[in-house]
Structure 1
């Protein structure tokens, strides 16, 4: 439904249905004889302006009126005066007729293009505060999760009313984000995300905006590489709210590139993308709250139940004023929308391929996005599952009021889409319209023929499309950027607790892995016993060799505990980081799990070692040998785990991490100072190895310098030169532990810094 909602200076409201009018040009003015819409205001010219309906859409033209006309959207504000240049209108755009001398006579018109009629509600402002927000105690309630529980309040003053902002996100008034307070003036327009409130004559007109996002692409060009190869060429189209759109085309047609431009992932392009008139490139931080993205790969935690996976995700994403009961209800609602009610307590890894895809969609539905992007959602699904998923996506667009845009290469169920964007070779837009229109355009009933045609001569079909479909004009004034947007943060304590709980529960549900993690140190201890001899803790060589084996075992265990922990979740981390995940807390939570696991592993390997081989005879000051060796084993494992985190944060896949692991182990062996005597640069490299400081700690506890050399049994005159690394002193042991602790902290800090690059990962 296309209509004008007209608010006069006295607060009177009129509605005009543009579709019921049979004329292509609808005139607006003061004269009843000359106009279709008559406005009784002394600042309106006899025939003030005209609204024109064409195949391309709706436009407004000022007809040389005395006071001119302001056309406002979040693109900017244009004064039309002494010009008959038409301006395209999009849903939510404002048409204002103002006069400084007679502000009470001003007129505000709101153009709306909606599939269902929405009724403007009226709230009379009195002498008490009117609270607006998500909370049930508010006077005006907007239920979306990205609206604060108490967003803002309207308070009476001696001269009128004042808006007080209570949200860290701010409240938008006339296109400007207010973080403190604002004196309301006649016909001020308040935006709380998509929801609109208009202040006039002591009243608020408002409605809950449930529709999805409208997307407008204007002349998109994309170049890559040193040679500036063009992979998108002058792509322009307009996507309506609540539409189900498929981007199709052959390989190399730029389908995914176009979607990455649409969703703001790639902002290195020429042209403009608008969401409901807001420039995406300039306001991505503000707009990503209403955006959902589901990649081709199912990036979900498979070792949690569906409910718990969604619950932990919600706890990480939602702001501090979202209660536990609200979060639980949001999770259940998301599960219901994707029709997985019967599987909410099922481990995700046990779901079918189609069910996992629905689970991925449910993750994004938690935040109730108004626009949804999916990359090859039907890839790898059988025909029946594909059809069911396509029906679900269509229902999502229509029933949940969400604009759904997907990239796909299959056309079996393309008829379920409202429109398709057909891309040809070289990133050329060859067609945009309904599936039936596409068949007429390409003169075929089989989309395979269209693939072949656009692959052979994409430029021809682009020219055919450009010649037969008219595109709208750009907004004539320069675009305005929204004020600085401050995202409402999730409380760090709650986010950390959720990350920690998710990590522990995920590991607990992966029983086979947990058993292997605990079985490994026990087996290694037994193997060390097999290669040991009776002279351990009596002879220098035997003792040093067995302690070096213990060092290598600790490094091996720690490294393989963690080297895939981050990279295997990298895509999930990226999605959550873009939604407000604190990467530092993520690493700390993951490392807390490593601390617990390594404590158990150190206890196992030490306990079996002590029982099978024994401990040194002489205690080191107030350090008893057994606890000191246990602590050294634990510190070795956990420092190696931190090194594993550093590798895991630096690579994008577990395979790459495992390629690096042998190199790190060889580095520890070669530069430990045990196998080879090191000089020059070798000594400096040894200083940054875990093995040097770990064997140094073990050697200090065992008092290696006091043990006889094997050669001294035959040649007693040979002196055993003491080594500073193994000096039998409490301070020396503390120094070794301190160096390992510093290495641990450095690895974790650098891991956090490196992981920030995850936002730049290519999809």
Structure 2
């Protein structure tokens, strides 16, 4: 009696088979909706912070934080439901010869393409809305390429984290429940926008927002920009009356008449520089390296979890 041997597809073949499946899902299961969503989010952020980003210190910090939030939001929505919604299928096909590394590789390629498209959409929407983007490059010959790489790596890192969550979440409902909590963690531990205890600062190294924000502030030459918050807050008190006189109003009038305002704003900026936002290739490369590191870590853990999917009795 002859025994028929079942020949399973190789890892590379399986990767392309599942990649084709993902693109069919993109077209026929409305996964394409993440692209117009990224355009809407970029437009909202451009409308709210576009005038001051890369113009003042405060505007650059706020705008960089906003761009990092765009990236994390896009990345999370790209893949938070991708695996958990077909968990039963993955389990069955793994028992039939599916290589989990091929399955995850297909997702990684597909998600990378989605992230690139979202970055292109984001940059073009911001340009259309008149948002000022960095004008000087640090790594590549073109500033917009440096900017785009930072956005891509931040988005892709968040995307792989969401894919990891999707790999162990029992249902899509569970995954969507976890996502807001992870978003809050990403936002609070961005390392530059919210004040957190010094003892908790090492935790910021775990977030994509920290490295995305730092990369964008560095590319925007944060430390060479003026700081306007001190001036604006003091200006609110210009009519303060002291024994029948208004000394602040007199001081502001003198400064304006002698064209000293810009000099004072630049001096205020010099006194509030942050070394971690230096316009330095090493700073930017460090940010990129951390984002790549966490992307790899999330991908490896996803593979390990899914390799044990047969033991999952849920």
Aligned residues of 2:58 and 2:229 also touching (Cα < 8 A): no
Aligned residues of 2:78 and 2:159 also touching (Cα < 8 A): yes
Partners of 1:534 and 1:517 lie apart in 2 by: 26
Aligned residues of 2:140 and 2:146 also touching (Cα < 8 A): no
Partners of 1:597 and 1:553 lie apart in 2 by: 14
**Match for residue 504 of structure 1 among 23, 43, 50:** 23
1:595 aligns with 2:146: no
Q: CA deviation at 1:582?
A: 0.7
Other-structure match for 2:63: 546
**Match for residue 220 of structure 2 among 691, 702, 709:** 702
Deviations 1:386-411 (A, max 9, x none): xxxxxxxxxxxxxxxxxxxxxxxxxx
Q: CA deviation at 1:490?
A: 3.4
Other-structure match for 1:740: 291
Does the C-alpha gap of structure 1 residues 499 and 619 become closer, same or farther in structure 2, counting only changes over 3 Å?
closer
Aligned residues of 1:672 and 1:689 also touching (Cα < 8 A): yes
Q: What is the DSSP-based 3-state SS (H/G/I as helix, E as strand, rest coil) of the residue aligned with 1:663?
A: helix
Aligned residues of 1:705 and 1:720 also touching (Cα < 8 A): no
Other-structure match for 2:253: none
714-723 vs 672-681, greater mean Cα deviation: 714-723
Other-structure match for 1:576: 93
Normalised TM-score (structure 2): 0.83
1:721 aligns with 2:272: yes
Q: CA deviation at 1:579?
A: 1.2
Aligned residues of 2:139 and 2:146 also touching (Cα < 8 A): no
Partners of 2:140 and 2:304 lie apart in 1 by: 39
Partners of 2:50 and 2:293 lie apart in 1 by: 35
Normalised TM-score (structure 1): 0.35
Aligned residues of 1:529 and 1:609 also touching (Cα < 8 A): yes
Q: CA deviation at 1:723?
A: 1.7
Deviations 1:599-649 (A, max 9, x none): 111100111113321212433364422111111111111111100011011
What are the ranges of 5 or more consecutive residues in structure 2 without an aligned counterpart? 235-260
Q: What is the DSSP-based 3-state SS (H/G/I as helix, E as strand, rest coil) of the residue aligned with 2:4?
A: coil
1:535 aligns with 2:86: no
Partners of 1:558 and 1:586 lie apart in 2 by: 19
Q: CA deviation at 1:760?
A: 1.7
Where does 1:578-727 land on structure 2 (aligned, <5 Å)? 578-612=95-129, 613-620=131-138, 622-711=140-229, 713=231, 716=264, 718=268, 719-727=270-278
Aligned residues of 1:537 and 1:617 also touching (Cα < 8 A): no
Q: CA deviation at 1:683?
A: 0.7
Partners of 1:622 and 1:583 lie apart in 2 by: 35
Other-structure match for 1:80: none
Q: What is the DSSP-based 3-state SS (H/G/I as helix, E as strand, rest coil) of the residue aligned with 1:500?
A: helix
Partners of 1:618 and 1:506 lie apart in 2 by: 40
Aligned residues of 1:568 and 1:654 also touching (Cα < 8 A): yes
Q: What is the DSSP-based 3-state SS (H/G/I as helix, E as strand, rest coil) of the residue aligned with 2:206?
A: coil
- The runs of at least 4 consecutive aligned structure 1 residues that moved more than 6 Å come to none
Q: CA deviation at 1:762?
A: 2.3
Other-structure match for 2:246: none
Does the C-alpha gap of structure 1 residues 619 and 503 become closer, same or farther in structure 2, counting only changes over 3 Å?
closer
Q: What is the DSSP-based 3-state SS (H/G/I as helix, E as strand, rest coil) of the residue aligned with 1:648?
A: helix
Partners of 1:640 and 1:528 lie apart in 2 by: 19
Q: CA deviation at 1:529?
A: 2.0
Specify which structure has the bigger relative contact order, considering alpha-carbon pairs within 8 angstroms and separated by 6 or more residues. 2
Other-structure match for 1:169: none
CA RMSD of aligned residues (A): 2.0
Partners of 1:525 and 1:748 lie apart in 2 by: 27
Aligned residues of 1:606 and 1:633 also touching (Cα < 8 A): no
Partners of 1:685 and 1:547 lie apart in 2 by: 19
Q: What is the DSSP-based 3-state SS (H/G/I as helix, E as strand, rest coil) of the residue aligned with 2:271?
A: coil
Does the C-alpha gap of structure 1 residues 601 and 622 become closer, same or farther in structure 2, counting only changes over 3 Å?
closer
Partners of 2:175 and 2:51 lie apart in 1 by: 39
Aligned residues of 1:697 and 1:733 also touching (Cα < 8 A): yes
Q: CA deviation at 1:495?
A: 1.9
Q: CA deviation at 1:712?
A: 5.6
Point out the structure with max Rg over C-alpha. 1
